[in-house]
Amino acid sequence: MDTTPGDTSTSRLPGTVLVIGACGQLGLELTAALREKYEPAHVIAADVRAPKQPELLAGGPFELLDVLDKARLEQLIQQYEPKQIYHLAALLSATAEKDPMFAWKLNMDGLLNVLNLSVQYQVAQVYWPSSIAVFGPDTPRHDTPQLCIMNPNTVYGISKLAGEQWCEWYHRKHGLDVRSLRYPGLIGYKSLPGGGTTDYAVDIYHKAVAGENYQCFLKEDSYLPMMYMPDALKATLDLMHAPADSIKVRTSYNLGAMSFSPAEITASIQQQVPGFEVSYAPDQRQAIADSWPASIDDSAARQDWGWQPDFDLDKMTADMLLHLKEMQP
């Protein structure tokens, strides 16, 4: 087990890792992965609310933190002297459209609090997730390139695009080693996503395992880029451990694994759960999905730090169904 997170830098020992937004879909799994990799007591989980599944965050410290409370964040940085901060707290696409002003405040001010304090306290590395939501209806929809017209038309996408530019600015102006990935929809069995447009691709597995049918809020031919959680964790940790001079993109890297429609994920599930039925009732999330890419060109990530996904749709389906069945009461 490594005990000093971060790259080879030894600027601050012992190093701790602070995960902000540790109770979210990604945060729960990333915290657990970091605690497997490092000394668990050195990985500090923080969130605005106590975890609903405390067993998933067992084994290391938990701190209450509203990332908009800069004084509290500063106090935690002084207390734990983190070498790395993973800042994951954000409102996702569908929720952000319902409360745009709060979404902008949380997604922007939260990031700026983290970036400013990281410069002030010389945090060695910061990770911040971006999203396929940075792209918009004018973007090429298939194999969306790293660099192209963006023009996002959701509050979430606008905040992620602005955040990417802030990350690049802090790197250029202050030398902050901040790194980022544009995640596609993330699918995992340990926790549920909250408030995203890609959430259907998690919900559908839960219904299939419960022996229920599913009503999908997107159209059956609505293609979106998606990724299984183990690949997302691998990408995040690989990016953070890559040598600094291999990181050529300081806004955020395109990251791809698979692209499928609701009809295709249904067919993949039906191979293992015969009789599972899906009906379609598109809602306001359809317009968000329509504005996003169908598939992603992630060649920059592959070239710069060796990104390579492990899971395709059928492999993910087999693994999701296996684990969800095991977890049934």
Rounded Cα distance between 262 and 264, Å, is 5
Rounded Cα distance between 121 and 21, Å, is 20
- Residue 6's alpha-carbon distances to 10, 34, 123, 179, in angstroms, are 9, 11, 10, 12
* Residues binding ligand AKB: number (CB under 6 A): 11
- Residue 326's alpha-carbon distances to 90, 186, 318, in angstroms, are 30, 21, 12
Where residue 306 falls (left for φ over 0; alpha for ψ -120 to 50; beta otherwise) is left
Closest to ligand AKB by CB, 180 or 197: 197
127, 156, 200, 253: which one is catalytic? 156
What is residue 82's three-state secondary structure?
strand
- Alpha carbons within 13 angstroms on the beta-carbon side of residue 174 total 20
Closest to ligand AKB by CB, 135 or 276: 135
- Taking CB under 6 A as the criterion, which residues in 92-121 touch ligand AKB? 92-93
Closest to ligand AKB by CB, 177 or 199: 199
Can you tell me which of 107, 113, 131, 268 binds ligand AKB, judged by CB under 6 A?
A: 131
Active site (annotated) includes residue 156: yes
Instruction: Establish if 133 lies at the interface with ligand AKB (CB under 6 A).
Output: yes
Instruction: Establish if 139 lies at the interface with ligand AKB (CB under 6 A).
Output: no
Closest to ligand AKB by CB, 135 or 214: 135
Residue number, nearest CB to ligand AKB = 196
- Taking CB under 6 A as the criterion, which residues in 160-199 touch ligand AKB? 183, 185, 196-198
State in angstroms the smallest separation of the CB of 291 from ligand AKB.
11
| C-alpha R_g of the chain | 19
Residues that bind ligand AKB (CB under 6 A): 92-93, 131-133, 156, 183, 185, 196-198
Residues marked active site are found at 156
